[in-house]
Amino acid sequence: MSSKCNRRKFVQLGMAAGVAAAVQGMSVASAEEKPLRIGVIGMGNRGTHLLNVCLKEPGIEVAGICDIRRDAMRRGIDLVDQAGQKRPAGYYYDQFDYRRMLTRDDIEAVVIATPMQWHTTMAVDALKARKHVLSEVSATITLEECWNLVHAAEETDRIYMLSENCCYYRSNMAVLNMVSQGIFGDFTYAECGYVHDCRYLDFTPDGKLTWRGELARDYIGNLYPTHAIGPVATWLGINRGDRFESLVSFTTRQAGRTVNAIKKFGKDHPAAQTPFSVGDSTTTLIRTAKGAMIDLRYDTASARPVLNTTYYGLQGTTASYDDRDNVQRIWIDGRSEGEKWDSLETLLTEFEHPLWQRLREQAEGSGHSGGDFFVVHEFFDTIRTGRPSPIDAYDAATWSAVIGLSGKSIREGGRPQEFPDFTGGAWKTRKQTLLMG
Ligand SMILES: NC(=O)c1ccc[n+]([C@@H]2O[C@H](COP(=O)([O-])OP(=O)(O)OC[C@H]3O[C@@H](n4cnc5c(N)ncnc54)[C@H](O)[C@@H]3O)[C@@H](O)[C@H]2O)c1
């Protein structure tokens, strides 16, 4: 039997188990009465936060903690201990020690929260070791990595999910719900951006480049696209009825990172000479097969207050959505008053997404407007029920491909770049299962 058949069979089997359990009025987890054992790789800021969210999920046992920094690994182990679980094993010998954890049969899933440069290698290794994967963003950096991830996911029967928490924002999910009810008609235009002064993360306190600083030194283009493009892609049904066809990208010169390095360390410090490649602000225009256009901005180096780090807008033939300046407003043809926007909040009684209706209390307070709870919860629920991953390797590769393609377009003076069709034509018929659980 081919691996794809295996996967199909696994999904069917998983769904059958889910249906049987539902009929008996219990969750699959309780039906099996078996905890799901996981390992977490990367115990920095994000990994620690995700670990804490995982520890609140019923039926989850953290059996392994991996970080090349021994102190970070120990901190993770202590957190598991303090949550009342058995002290997990630690892995910290070298950069590939996570592979030792992957050889364990009792660990079924891993959460990857390491620097972006590691995501694809670790995800591919984990999928090949038959572990389910929840990977932090972005999934990949290069186009080659996009294909490696897609192939690894196609060749396994395990779940891959991208941990794109912005897709699960209450407002973004309400818009998705409206989209699925046809409120927007057809789409023509969307805009989104990640605009967040992150220069304070470029250097360690003694002036060495962090992984984020190295990324900004080694690559150009939109280096962090998924927070912005993810929710928009779900609204437009990308890889599920439409697809990204091509993009063009332009960027400013690099200035803000050097200003920051001089301010922090002085003009004679080596940090001030760092040859950063990425421009301060990058704009990318993406065209879809159905003729919609997306205006996508990326800027992590401009001096500005941290108020809202992402923004989104959607233009359909019958409605318009705009959440700039943290004000979420919508206008619906034939329903909203003449020139006046409606506040999205006032329509939530009608359009709240079913997941938020059901799980709002648990989600609120989990970080990133509830998004962090949902990525973790959905990942485990997907494993238990066998339903398709809400944000699978095709989505992850497509959204992350913006990094490589925008860089190439900029290097070629704004020349259009074609998106690979990672789904091999399946985008035409794939069902919109994203976030509709
Ligand atoms: N979804 C979100 O909202 C969100 C927010 C912040 C960061 N992130 C993503 O999370 C990831 C981690 O970011 P962070 O801010 O926690 O970074 P961080 O630098 O604080 O943590 C990274 C950790 O990974 C460890 N590490 C590095 N190489 C390793 C290896 N080979 N094996 C094991 N451990 C290794 C480091 O020692 C460090 O503790 C990044 O990919 C980032 O893009 C996502």
Per the domain annotation, does 378 fall within a domain?
no
Q: Is 178 exposed, middle or buried, given 0-12, 13-18 or 19+ CB atoms closer than 10 A?
A: buried
Which of these three, 135, 165, 195, is where a domain ends? Answer: 165
State how far the Cα of 328 lies from the Cα of 313, in Å rounded to an integer: 9
Residue 388 counted as domain residue: no
Over its C-alpha atoms, the chain yields an Rg (Å, rounded) of 22
Same structural domain, 63 and 187: no
**Same structural domain for residues 72 and 54?**
yes
DSSP per-residue codes, 304-326:
---S-SEEEEEEESSEEEE-GGG
Ligand 1 neighbourhood includes 41 CB (under 6 angstroms): yes
Same-domain check for residues 237 and 148: no
CATH number of the domain to which 136 belongs: 3.40.50.720
Together in a domain, 189 and 130:
no
Residue 278 domain flag? yes
Q: How far is the CA of 213 from the centre of ligand 1 (A)?
A: 13
**289 and 192 share one domain:** yes
Q: Which atom, in ligand 1's list, is nearest to the CA of 49?
A: 16
CA distance 230 to 337: 30
Smallest CA separation from ligand 1 atom 25, residue = 42
The pLDDT value given to residue 19: 36
Same-domain pairing of 262 and 329: yes
In order, the DSSP letters of 86-119 are PPPEEE-SSTTTHHHHHT-TT--EEEE-S-HHHH
> In the structure encoding, which two tokens stand for residue 70, read together?
């021994």
Domain region containing 325: 167-357+393-428
What's the sign of the alpha-carbon dihedral 399, 400, 405, 411? Answer: positive
Among the candidates 121, 137, 165, a domain finishes at 165
Render 371-403 in DSSP notation, one character per residue: HHHHHHHHHHHHHHH-PPPSS-HHHHHHHHHHH
Name the token pair of 109. 């899933």
Q: What is the pLDDT of residues 266-310, one digit of tens each?
A: 999 999 999 999 999 999 999 999 999 999 999 999 999 988 899
Structural domain contains residue 274 = yes
Q: What is the predicted pLDDT for the residue at 4? A: 36
pTM, whole model, 2 decimals?
0.93
Is 56 inside a domain boundary? yes
**Residue 97 CA: which ligand 1 atom is closest?**
32
Check whether residue 74 and residue 204 sit in a common domain.
Answer: no
Ligand 1 midpoint to CA 57 (Å): 21
How many independent structural domains does the chain possess? 2
Measured from the Cα of 119, ligand 1's closest atom is 41
- 119 alpha carbon to ligand 1 midpoint, in Å? 9
Give the residue from 437, 388, 392, 374 showing the smallest Cα distance to 239: 392
Asked if residue 228 has its Cβ within 6 Å of ligand 1, the reply is: no
SS3 category, 204: coil
In a shared domain, residues 216 and 274: yes
Q: What is the pLDDT of residue 437?
A: 54
Report the candidate in 293, 289, 328, 332 with the shortest Cα–Cα distance to residue 312: 328
**Residue 286 located in a structural domain:** yes
**Residues for the chain: how many in total?**
437
Pocket residue to mutate for ligand 1, from 49, 67, 73, 212, most atoms within 8 A of Cβ: 67
Burial of residue 346 (number of CB atoms within 10 Å: 0-12, 13-18, 19+): exposed
For residue 211, report the distance from its CA to the centre of ligand 1, in Å. Answer: 9
| Domain stops at, among 165, 200, 230 | 165
**Pocket lining: 115 vs ligand 1, CB cutoff 6 Å:** yes
- For residue 116 and ligand 1, the question of a CB distance below 6 A is answered with yes
Name the closest-CA residue to atom 21, ligand 1.
44
Q: What single DSSP character describes residue 239? A: T
Cβ atoms of 112 and 41 within 8 Å: the answer is yes
Q: What kind and span of H or E run contains 349?
A: helix 348-351
Q: Do you find a cis peptide bond into 138, omega within 30 degrees of 0?
A: yes
| DSSP codes of every residue in 242-263 | B-EEEEEEEE----HHHHHHHH
| CB of 202 closer than 6 angstroms to any ligand 1 atom | no
| Token reading at 98 | 């996570």
Indicate the top mutation candidate among 99, 136, 403 to test ligand 1's pocket, ranked by most ligand atoms within 8 A of CB: 136
Quick one: 110 and 177 in the same domain? Answer: no
**CB 113 near ligand 1, within 6 Å:** yes
Q: Give the DSSP H/E element, type plus range, for residue 187.
A: strand 187-195
Question: Is the minimum distance from the CB of 47 to ligand 1 under 6 angstroms?
Answer: yes
pLDDT of residue 365: 76
What is the model's pLDDT at position 214?
Answer: 98
Report which residue type is found at 33.
E
Query: Which of 46, 202, 375 is the best mutation target for the ligand 1 pocket, counting ligand atoms within 8 Å of the beta carbon and taking the most?
Result: 46
**pLDDT the model gives residue 436:** 57
Distance 86 CA to ligand 1 centre (A): 24
What's the confidence (pLDDT) of residue 308?
84
87-113 pLDDT, tens digit each:
999 999 999 999 999 999 999 999 999
Q: Kindly report the protein residue whose alpha carbon is nearest to atom 31 of ligand 1.
A: 95
Q: What is the pLDDT of residue 338?
A: 82
pLDDT of residue 63: 98
Is the residue at 373 inside a domain? no
Instruction: Say whether both 419 and 290 belong to one domain.
Output: yes
Residue recorded with tokens 């993810």: 230
Ligand 1 near 368 CB (within 6 A): yes
164, 142, 128: which is closest to 46 by C-alpha?
164
How confident is the model at residue 431, as a pLDDT? 85
pLDDT of residue 376: 97
Pairing type for strands 36-41 and 60-66 reads: parallel
Does 213 reside within a domain? yes
Cβ atoms within 10 Å, residue 5: 10
Judgement on whether residues 327 and 422 belong to the same structural domain of the protein:
yes
CATH number where 345 lies: 3.30.360.10
Residues 215 and 256 placed together within one structural domain of the fold: yes
Residue closest by Cα to atom 13 of ligand 1:
46
Q: How far is CA 393 from CA 148, 347, 406, in A?
A: 10, 33, 20
C-beta 122 within 6 A of ligand 1: no
Regions of the chain where pLDDT drops below 50: 1-29, 31
In short, whether 162's Cβ falls inside 6 Å of ligand 1 is no
